[in-house]
Structure 1
Amino acid sequence: MLRFALQKISGHSTQRIFLPATSTLMRGCSFATYEVIPKGQGREAHCDHVVKDQCNNQVANLYPKPNVGGQQKLQIGQNVSRKDKIKFLVTTLLDLKDSKEAVYSALDAWVAWEQNFPIGPLKNVILALEKEHQWHRVVQVVKWMLSKGQGNTMGTYGQLLRALDMDNRADEAHQFWVKKVSADLHSVPWQLCGLMISVYYRNSMLENLVKLFKGLEAFGRKPTDKSIVQRVADAYEMLGLLEEKERVLEKYKDVCTKIEKGHKKSKQTSLKKKKDSG
């Protein structure tokens, strides 16, 4: 398992790699720290990058030159599976104190050895944090990812909005929606619109809910789910706009009817399959 950290020492950029002390070389060290010494420093100036541990033992040349056969040895950490890297990062994030700087530093160190930004593994990390109901951590990871210019998709935005809502930060979710999503109401997936309507509904932000729905209607967009229609109707009722409530229920009654018919049909199909198999 790997841990990475970056330090500045005497004006030089120095990388430290943390590995479990399991080898014979690290005997006597409870947790070995490896320091990468750039070329031209210390006794090992003839190497490009020399890795040394806390016991002052030379471990490996991190970037060895190709041998005669033209083959190059793997860098440290390349033999660690993706699953282990994800598990390690999740454990690290859960153990960290509630500090944005600490979380961002851990994420920076985790991706330092990747040639390409690991968007896929990070998605798995977010899913793992969601399963643990670590909504505050989810927010921090997604915001860090967005700050790197990565993950700018509606799916990522939905994860952030949901996490903000679950972290009791509905106002921040609203601000993010207005800044990043609201300008594209003509194309935003209904799933994401439904999520935001739910956020507004749960947090009694009824004026924002009605405004969002009117914006969608202005583009001629039709709700795809009965729950959306019902929440909008309820919002109008609580705001004292009963005529608007009746208008919405009448205009989109076919949405509720289609869903109910589809549910009955699927239920009948499943019952028929059970009878046939019996």
Structure 2
Amino acid sequence: MLMAMSKSKAMVNLGQCNNQPMYHDSGKDAASVHKHQIGENVSRKDKINFLVTTLLDLKDSKEAVYGALDAWVAWEQNFPIASLKRVLITLEKEQQWHRVIQVVKWMLSKGQGTTMGTYGQLIRALDMDHRAEEAHEFWVKKIGTDLHSVPWHLCHRMISVYYRNNMLENLVKLFKGLEAFDRKPQDKLVVKKVADAYEMLGLLEEKERIFEKYDYLFTETAAGKPKKSKKLLSEKKKSGRRKPTSTPDDLTPGDGVQTQ
């Protein structure tokens, strides 16, 4: 079992306490101290396991998930952001993308986790949950207005979402926005996806332009010495439409849109 019987009993008692989150309270009355002492009887690992098990056992209801999360943090003095990140990692390993989305959205509704790492987790989970349109809406609302400073790995993630879901106009628009800030891609995979998008849109001159502009990504070896790239030359000669073939695994996982 995730917890010993005594610890399970403590967690049950927690649910019977005042439901107001302690991380909003400034005072330390008797009830708050009592609540804090109960929480200390349970290890952080057991708290995390308890929440993961609870979330996996719940029916697919936003209200049920949000209620469980509210109860879980109700006795905490500070918002347990580190523990919740561990919960998210576990849910990702279990490929529980819908639950990841719900937990992240709940965190954001509390004004917590408003970082590019958390945003990246949400974008990835939405993509894996086949909600690319919602991922696009979130990008436009929360991230896309700040292209001069968005980390490249997050931009690459969104380009990959657009590429896999045949949202090619959005893909080239994002890349042009990055170019407007003189943001140079650091990975040739980005250039290849953008070039493919231009080709599928019939914009062959744009495809040639970016291959020429970023040819250094294809001609430098690991030692930094220039080398002719046969792959680049063959890419330039190819024509016709191709179907996007990249997978979500080509990226490293990251750290008020539609809710479900």
Interval of TM-score (by shorter of Structure 1 and Structure 2): 0.7 to 0.9
Q: Once the 2 structures are TM-superposed, how far is the Cα of residue 74 of structure 1 from its aligned partner?
A: 6.7
Match of 2:130 in 1: 168
Is 2:104 the counterpart of 1:148? no
Is 2:75 the counterpart of 1:126? no
Matching residue within 190, 207, 212 for 2:169? 207
Residues 1:192 and 1:21: Cα distance change in structure 2 (over 3 Å)? closer
What is the identity percentage for the equivalent residue pairs of Structure 1 and Structure 2? 71
- For 1:71-220, list aligned pairs within 5 A: 75-220=37-182
Is 2:222 the counterpart of 1:262? yes
Residue correspondences, number? 210
Match of 1:53 in 2: none
AA matched with 2:163? Y
d(CA) in 2 for partners of 1:34 and 1:184?
A: 41
TM-score, normalised by the number of residues in structure 1: 0.70
TM-score, normalised by the number of residues in structure 2: 0.75
d(CA) in 2 for partners of 1:35 and 1:238?
A: 59
d(CA) in 2 for partners of 1:121 and 1:172?
A: 27
Q: Once the 2 structures are TM-superposed, how far is the Cα of residue 77 of structure 1 from its aligned partner?
A: 2.5
Q: Once the 2 structures are TM-superposed, how far is the Cα of residue 19 of structure 1 from its aligned partner?
A: 6.1
Residues 1:34 and 1:206: Cα distance change in structure 2 (over 3 Å)? closer
**Secondary structure in 1 matching 2:149:** coil
1:192-227 per-position Cα deviation (integer Å, ceiling 9, x unaligned): 000000000000000000000000000011000010
d(CA) in 2 for partners of 1:250 and 1:164?
A: 34
Q: Once the 2 structures are TM-superposed, how far is the Cα of residue 75 of structure 1 from its aligned partner?
A: 1.8
Unmatched runs of 5 consecutive residues or more in structure 2 = 19-29, 226-260
- Higher strand fraction (1 or 2): 1
Tell whether the 8 Å contact from 1:210 to 1:232 is kept in structure 2 after alignment.
Answer: yes
CA root-mean-square deviation: 2.6
AA matched with 2:42? V
AA matched with 1:242? L
d(CA) in 2 for partners of 1:262 and 1:179?
A: 38
**Secondary structure in 2 matching 1:75:** helix
Is 2:201 the counterpart of 1:232? no
Greater relative contact order structure (CA < 8 Å, 6+ sep):
2
d(CA) in 2 for partners of 1:230 and 1:263?
A: 22
Rg comparison, structure with higher value: 1
1:164-206 per-position Cα deviation (integer Å, ceiling 9, x unaligned): 0000000000000000001100000000000000000000000
Is 2:209 the counterpart of 1:241? no
Runs of 4+ with >6 A deviation: 31-34
d(CA) in 2 for partners of 1:138 and 1:166?
A: 11
- Higher helix fraction (1 or 2): 2
**Secondary structure in 2 matching 1:235:** helix
Residues 1:102 and 1:240: Cα distance change in structure 2 (over 3 Å)? same
AA matched with 1:178? V
